[in-house]
Structure 1
Amino acid sequence: MDAKNHHRPPGSLERAEDAAGIDIVGLSKRYLTPKGETFTAIRDVTLKVEPGQFCSIVGPTGCGKSTTLAQVSGLEKPSVGSVKVGGQTVEGITNGVSYMFQADALFPWKSVLGNVMMGPTLLGTPKREATALAMDWLRRVGLAGFEDRYPHQLSGGMRKRVAMAAALINNPRILLMDEPFGALDVQTKAIMQNELLKLWEELRPSVLFITHDLDEAVALSDRVVIMTSSPGSVKDVFDIDLPRPRGNVQEIRHEERFLELQGHIWESLKDEVTRAYARTSGAAA
């Protein structure tokens, strides 16, 4: 990423001017099982995310959603096909990407401030500037005054706020999110969704967001991708035409257009969920 994104003054919040598109073409990923057999996680996945777009992937458990994110990040290499970010083929760890996992992925021995400072520090930002920037981000996510706490001293929702600040502090061009709010209670989850939308509206990185929650996908996204049961491939793509900014996700869910979109997407998704359940429960698909 361009150095100017790492040395902006605290209090400023710049959009990711170099937000990158994601082009996935004919992507397949195979693994060897402990028994030496070949397992295909995803097959012939083709997907496009426009620069600055918020795209969610929804599908049954085990359909390869997380595998797809791993290929975009460069943490894994495709067996077949290609992934391009900003027009460049991904051949290693992708530059300008932040990854927010389902687990908090915080360093337990570091304070809240220390965790959030990690990104700027690793990018060479001077300590004083990194500290000021991290303090500003803690304020943005509602954790001012908690900078000296450690992860084990925080609630689940507060740890997610720390993880979000750590993911966004470097102003990424791409934000990969793997069920980041899945373990939260309903009320905390809604608060975090609103926080994410607010910060994304300001920064506008390209987002690839994995969730099992269809309502969450519709409320947050510009586009929702449905994946088939394993091996995963793209079944349907739905454009979400709800106006932005969307404000409170709890209120959006009662709107007529939201319910209409949710119904259409569920019609596509339910067969895949049923098929995956039948296979994992030992029943005939």
Structure 2
Amino acid sequence: MVGKKFAKSAPAATDTSHAQEAARIEITGLTKRFVTPTGEPFTAIRDVTFTVEPGQFCAIVGPTGCGKSTTLGQVSGLERPSAGSVAVGGRPVTGITKGVSFMFQADALFPWKTVLGNVMIGPTLAGMAKKDAIALARDWLRRVGLTGFEDRYPHQLSGGMRKRVAMAAALINEPRILLMDEPFGALDVQTKAIMQTELLGLWEQSRPSVLFITHDLDEAVALSDRVLIMTSGPGSIKESFEIDLPRPRGEVQDIRHEQRFLELQNQIWASLKDEVQRAYARTAGAA
């Protein structure tokens, strides 16, 4: 009897371990060069190296123009590196990788589709029966507090509500990796805090690996397990900070008043401030 139980449980452990490995992001010596409209070469990022462990919430902060979004584009597979490599789950990224969802600053909703129609796109494209996709989409809209808005169109929603739709559309696919490029940057302070708290609650349910780009240092510290500082362009990783605030974290607005949060915020700002000042001085000189 014991032997039979062991035989059944072993594959489950192996499957779990394999799923975790599939959610690892490994970036090694990543460099991206562009050619400007005037024909001049431009290096956006240079020799970027870091790893996002399975289930880790990792934020990247840095001055404007340092290459944060460029780095995310390399991980997404939407762009190809000039040098170096990106691997997801141990496999080189050569195109759009399965199991990856995106959430960007600009609304990525189809304006001609209803809220329900936008959220159910992922499951439908994955081959789920329409009836099941509708039921799943309704459940996710319930989770993000949009029950009753299924038949609305994006232009009929507030900015915060559109972000909730985008979040549901990203998470309904149960991604192993979630890429987020300043997803709440355009929101007012109050709505932003609410959305940050909702994101934490939804993320806790399945713990995908997250790579989160932001200009907001408070946001990075409140949400993340780890914060990476990028240098002023060409961007590279200057420093990494482990965020040891306990999870689950509750309301983001409350976290910002905790003593440990303030200590971490001050430590990271001491490193980030120099890069922001360098970037400002460079652009001011160019002007």
1:280 alignment partner in structure 2: 283
> Which of these residues, 38, 41, 64, is aligned with residue 61 of structure 1?
64
Cα offset for 1:280? 1.2
Query: How do 1:153-232 and structure 2 match up within 5 A?
Result: 153-232=156-235
Equivalent residue for 1:113, pick from 116, 119, 124? 116
Aligned mate of 1:128, from 127, 131, 144:
131
Structure 1 residue 57: Cα displacement: 0.2
Tell me, yes or no, if the aligned pair for 1:72 and 1:94 is still in contact at 8 Å. no
2:265 match: secondary structure? helix
CA distance in 1, matches of 2:96, 2:35: 22
1:20 pairs, out of 12, 23, 36, with: 23
Paired residues for 1:42-121 under 5 Å? 42-121=45-124
CA-to-partner distance for each residue in 1:170-213, whole Å, 9 max, x for gaps?
A: 00000000000001011100000000000111110000000000
**C-alpha contact 1:54 1:223 (8 A) present in aligned 2:** yes
Cα distance in structure 1, aligned partners of 2:190 and 2:105 = 18
Residue type of the partner of 1:59? Answer: G
Q: CA RMSD in A?
A: 1.2
Give the Cα separation in 2 of the matches to 1:184 and 1:279: 29
SS of aligned partner of 2:85: strand
Larger-Rg structure: 2
Displaced runs of 4+ in structure 1, greater than 4 A?
Answer: 16-19
Gap regions ≥5 residues in structure 2: 1-17
Looking at structure 1, the residues matched to 189 and 34 of structure 2 have their Cα atoms a distance apart, in angstroms, of 35
Deviations 1:69-106 (A, max 9, x none): 11111000000000011111111111110010100111
1:253 to 251, 256, 280: 256
Output the CA distance in 1 between the equivalents of 2:53 and 2:93: 16
Paired residue type of 1:201: E
The CA distance in 2 between the partners of 1:75 and 1:96, in whole Å, is 15
Letter of the 2:201 counterpart: K
Taking only the aligned residue pairs, the percentage that are identical comes to 81
Aligned to 1:34: 37
Alpha-carbon distance between aligned partners in 2 of 1:279 and 1:147, rounded to the nearest angstrom: 48
Shift of residue 283, structure 1, vs aligned partner: 6.5
Q: Choose from 152, 157, 160 the match for 2:155.
A: 152
Normalised TM-score (structure 1): 0.93
Going from structure 1 to structure 2, the CA distance change for 1:157 and 1:225 (only over 3 Å counts) comes to same
User: What SS is found at the alignment partner of 1:281?
Assistant: helix
* 3-state SS of paired residue (1:25): strand
CA contact (8 A) 1:20 1:50 kept: yes
Structure ranking higher in helix proportion: 2
1:277: Cα distance to partner? 0.9
Q: Deviations over 1:11-52 (max 9, x none)?
A: xxxxx9546011000000001111111111100000110000
SS in 2 for 1:182: coil
> Take 1:128 and 1:35, find their aligned partners in 2: how far apart are those partners?
53
Whole-angstrom distance in 2 between the partners of 1:206 and 1:40: 28
SS at match of 1:82: strand
Quick one: which amino acid aligns to residue 233 of structure 2?
Answer: S
Structure 1: unaligned runs, 5 residues or longer:
1-15
Write the distance in 1 (CA, Å) between the matches of 2:98 and 2:237: 26
Equivalent position amino acid for 2:69 in 1: S
Tell me the matched-pair count. Answer: 269
CA distance in 2, matches of 1:143, 1:243: 29
* Partners of 1:66 and 1:99 in 2: CA distance: 12
